[in-house]
């Protein structure tokens, strides 16, 4: 896996490079200190597979950079880095196409696991703080969800609770492969790229209500 690190603090970049380079199958191919450079990396002739993106940077911030990067098909996946556990920008970053976020202070082992989760095509929804942010900042709209089957609705509700495929399978008493098929159908019908975007759509349309069981 080829990774780019985007952060305006050179010490943070050095630390992240050291952690990520410890994995034999990973390579940090580039670093950048603002959003403009990040967009250039993503649109270059040799783009990374995944970008670790800071939010608060001079010039173009990580939010706008994420929006521009993920607007194109086949874009690198974006994992947002933040110093703050509750940050209004994080929800906007997810709406812009980020696949999740991690705190800069998390242990190296957890950072490596987070990168693997996002790189595999999943979204980093398991932290409770992620779901709290979505609940807090998702603005209702008049947009309606497309017609989902009853089982697809069940899966979407459980996705909104931050459950993994295996947890959903246990909750619904079905095989994990069946859950994967339902998730794929939900993403296709919603026209979204990943689970994070599906959950945001569920909250924005009022399909899932914050605090509901």
Q: Which pLDDT tens digit goes with each residue over 88-141?
A: 666 777 778 888 888 888 899 989 988 988 887 766 654 555 556 666 655 555
Residue 34: predicted pLDDT: 93
Tens digits of per-residue pLDDT, 18-39? 999 999 999 999 999 999 999 9
**Could you tell me the two tokens for 18?**
């050291």
Q: What is the CATH number of domain 2-136?
A: 3.40.50.2300
Residue 197: predicted pLDDT: 80
| CB-CB contact of 137 with 88 (8 Å) | yes
Residue 138: predicted pLDDT: 58
Residue 5: predicted pLDDT: 96
The three-class DSSP label of residue 102 is strand
Residue 125: predicted pLDDT: 55
Q: Phi/psi of residue 54, each to 5°?
A: -75, 155
Structure-model confidence comparison of residues 212 and 36, the more confident one: 36
189, 164, 136, 12: CA torsion to nearest 10: -110
pTM: predicted TM-score of the whole model, two decimal places: 0.68
- May I ask the CATH class of domain 140-204? mainly alpha
DSSP state, residue 24: T
List every span in the chain annotated with CATH 1.10.10.10.
140-204
Q: Which residue matches tokens 């990520």?
A: 20
Which residues pair with residue 80 across a beta bridge? Answer: 53, 101
pLDDT category of residue 85 using cuts at 50, 70 and 90: low
List every span in the chain annotated with CATH 3.40.50.2300.
2-136
The pLDDT > 70 percentage for the chain reads: 84
Residue 126: predicted pLDDT: 45
Residue 134: predicted pLDDT: 62
Residue 128: predicted pLDDT: 54
Average pLDDT, the chain: 84
pLDDT category of residue 81 using cuts at 50, 70 and 90: confident
């Amino acid at each position: 896996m080829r990774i780019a690190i985007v952060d305006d603090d050179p010490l943070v970049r050095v630390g992240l490079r050291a952690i990520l380079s410890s994995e034999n199958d990973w390579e940090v191919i580039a670093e950048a200190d603002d959003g403009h450079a990040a967009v250039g990396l993503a649109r270059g002739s040799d783009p990374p597979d995944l970008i670790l993106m800071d939010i608060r940077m001079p010039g173009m911030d990580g939010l706008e950079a994420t929006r521009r990067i993920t607007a194109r098909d086949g874009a690198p996946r974006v994992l947002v880095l933040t110093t703050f556990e509750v940050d209004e920008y994080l929800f906007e970053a997810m709406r812009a196409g980020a696949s999740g976020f991690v705190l800069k202070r998390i242990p190296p082992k957890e950072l490596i696991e987070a990168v693997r989760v996002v790189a595999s095509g999943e979204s980093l929804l398991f932290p409770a703080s992620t779901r709290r942010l979505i609940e807090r900042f998702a603005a209702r709209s008049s947009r309606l969800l497309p017609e989902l089957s009853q089982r697809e609705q069940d899966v979407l509700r459980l996705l909104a609770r931050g459950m993994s495929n295996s947890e959903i399978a246990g909750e619904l008493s079905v095989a994990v492969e069946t859950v994967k098929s339902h998730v794929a159908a939900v993403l296709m019908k919603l026209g979204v790229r990943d689970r994070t975007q599906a959950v945001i759509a569920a909250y924005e349309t009022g399909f899932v209500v914050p605090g509901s069981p």
